[in-house]
């Protein structure tokens, strides 16, 4: 099964992000569906069902405190000259997310999951296949204003089903 570990967003935050993304209607832009918006902590890929139990046990031992996150500003991966991903940045809570991700990496290393080398906390909101007018797109994004805050009191082990209409996510375990 295809799995990842994530911080799922509150419904209100997802609605606000989805609302701001309504302006992006170009063919080459694939917006992340509202119900799928999340902060990825670790992509696991294809995982044997037997290994899922071991992963659950490791994740349940991770110790962290509830923390606040503030989302603010937009950015692009790899950069704004060659846009493949549009994201919203993490202002407050960045340090806590990085620490949580490091704990997850450390816990899973004995199960042969490679640690992240350059983990950059962000919230992917769209993937770009092509842009008709990159200059206009960059202008439109620069004019957007978005800020939101929420509390993180859990993270989730998720399963991803790849469907023709896009991925469908199912929560396996909440920690």
pLDDT digits over 48-72, tens only?
Answer: 989 999 999 999 999 999 999 999 9
* pLDDT (0 to 100) of residue 172: 97
Residue with tokens 């044997």: 48
Exactly one of 14, 31, 38, 42 is catalytic; name it: 38
pLDDT digits over 93-140, tens only?
Answer: 999 999 999 999 999 999 999 999 889 999 999 999 999 889 999 998
Hey, which residues does 78 pair with through a beta bridge? 83
Asked whether residue 165 carries a pLDDT value surpassing 90, the answer given is: no
Catalytic site includes residue 119: no
Q: Per the confidence metrics, is the pTM higher than 0.75?
A: yes
What is the average pLDDT score of the chain?
A: 94
- Calculate helix-pair angle for 94-108, 49-60, nearest 10 degrees: 130
- CATH numeric code, 2-165: 3.90.1140.10
Please choose, from the candidates 49, 88, 82, the residue with its C-alpha nearest in 3D space to the C-alpha of residue 70: 88
Catalytic site includes residue 122: yes
Exactly one of 41, 76, 122, 148 is catalytic; name it: 122
Q: CA 60 to CA 54: how far, in whole Å?
A: 10
Q: Are strands 38-46 and 67-78 parallel, antiparallel or unpaired?
A: unpaired
């Amino acid at each position: 099964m295809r799995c990842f570990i994530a911080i799922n967003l509150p419904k209100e935050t997802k609605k606000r992000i989805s609302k701001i993304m309504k302006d992006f209607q170009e063919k080459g832009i694939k917006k992340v569906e509202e119900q799928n918006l999340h902060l990825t902590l670790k992509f696991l890929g294809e995982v044997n069902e037997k290994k899922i139990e071991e992963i659950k046990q490791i994740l349940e031992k991770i110790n962290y405190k509830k923390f606040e996150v503030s989302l603010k500003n937009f950015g692009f991966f790899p950069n704004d000259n060659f846009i493949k991903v549009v994201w919203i940045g993490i202002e407050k809570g960045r340090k806590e997310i990085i620490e949580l991700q490091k704990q997850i990496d450390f816990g899973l290393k004995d199960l042969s999951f490679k640690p992240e080398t350059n983990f950059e906390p962000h919230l992917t909101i769209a993937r770009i296949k092509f842009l008709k007018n990159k200059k206009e797109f960059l202008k439109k994004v620069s004019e957007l204003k978005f800020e939101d805050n929420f509390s993180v009191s859990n993270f989730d082990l998720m399963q991803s089903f790849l469907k023709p209409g896009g991925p469908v996510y199912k929560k396996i375990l909440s920690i």
